[in-house]
Amino acid sequence: MEKQTWQLVDSYMTERLRIGDEGLDAALANNRQKGLPAIDVSPTQGKLLTLLARMKGAKRILEIGTLGGYSTICLAQGMSDTGKIVTLEYEPKHAACAKENIAFAGYADQVDIIIGPALESLPILHEQQQSFDFIFIDADKPNNPHYVKWALKLASPGAVLVADNVIRDGEVLNRHSTDPRVQGIRTFVELLEQEERIEATAIQTVGEKGYDGFILGIVH
């Protein structure tokens, strides 16, 4: 299949802006070898996460949805040298692969992977009075409304919130969609509309992952 212009632009920018490194490339290769789904953020999107974490000066990062740890490594590259990431992953197979990738990239001591349903892990983090200054949501979309409610409980004042895959080829407009992922995103957006503690925007993206986008917000 012939590549679309936006896919070629992604490749061009990735090469010219020197995006990616040995650790990130190895993570993608290991993910493929272990049979993980190729649904990681793209290299350009991953670099955006790195830069956002660095701009924030993030010291405590919560990631909901680890997969093979590609985005985890991107976030680790942007946080402070003494920073810590807690990342939640449902699938033990994915978590095992992520552990290998994160260790190879040199962040094993700064990343805690918690295995199991995020909606079981998040209340425990809250009971432990943990708080985070950067939260990245990239897990099962039907549960996004629940994730953002917990994100608010766990966010420190001024925390950055990023949620991936919120446009879904424009299907977010379809209120009659029978896709639970689309309905999860729509409910998530409606919650943000009513939530005065979050100031947010949406960025539509095109690239090697197709037509999608982020929601980016700050928790007051």
Q: How far is CA 167 from the centre of its chain?
A: 15
How confident is the model at residue 69, as a pLDDT?
98
Angle value at C-alpha 75, between 51 and 189, nearest 5 degrees: 85
Over residues 26-47, the pLDDT tens digits come to 999 999 999 999 999 999 999 9
Question: What are the angstrom distances between the C-alpha of 192 and each of 133, 199, 220?
Answer: 18, 8, 13
Local confidence band at 208 (pLDDT 50, 70, 90 cut-offs): confident
User: Total structural domains in the chain?
Assistant: 1
**Main-chain dihedrals φ then ψ at residue 106, nearest 5 degrees:** 95, 20
Return the closest-CA partner of residue 14 out of 41, 52, 53, 54: 41
181-204 pLDDT, tens digit per residue, is 999 999 999 999 999 999 999 999
CATH of the domain at 191: 3.40.50.150
pLDDT at site 4: 85
pTM for the full model? 0.96
Residue 164 has pLDDT above 70, yes or no: yes
pLDDT at residue 2, as a whole number: 63
The residue among 146, 138, 130, 183 whose CA lies nearest residue 48 is 138
pLDDT digits (tens, 9 = 90+) for 51-98: 999 999 999 999 999 999 999 999 999 999 999 999 999 999 999 999
Q: Are strands 198-207 and 210-219 parallel, antiparallel or unpaired?
A: antiparallel
Q: Is beta strand 132-137 parallel, antiparallel or unpaired with respect to 60-64?
A: parallel
* Domain span at 180: 5-219
- What is the Cα–Cα distance from 6 to 35, expressed in whole angstroms? 26
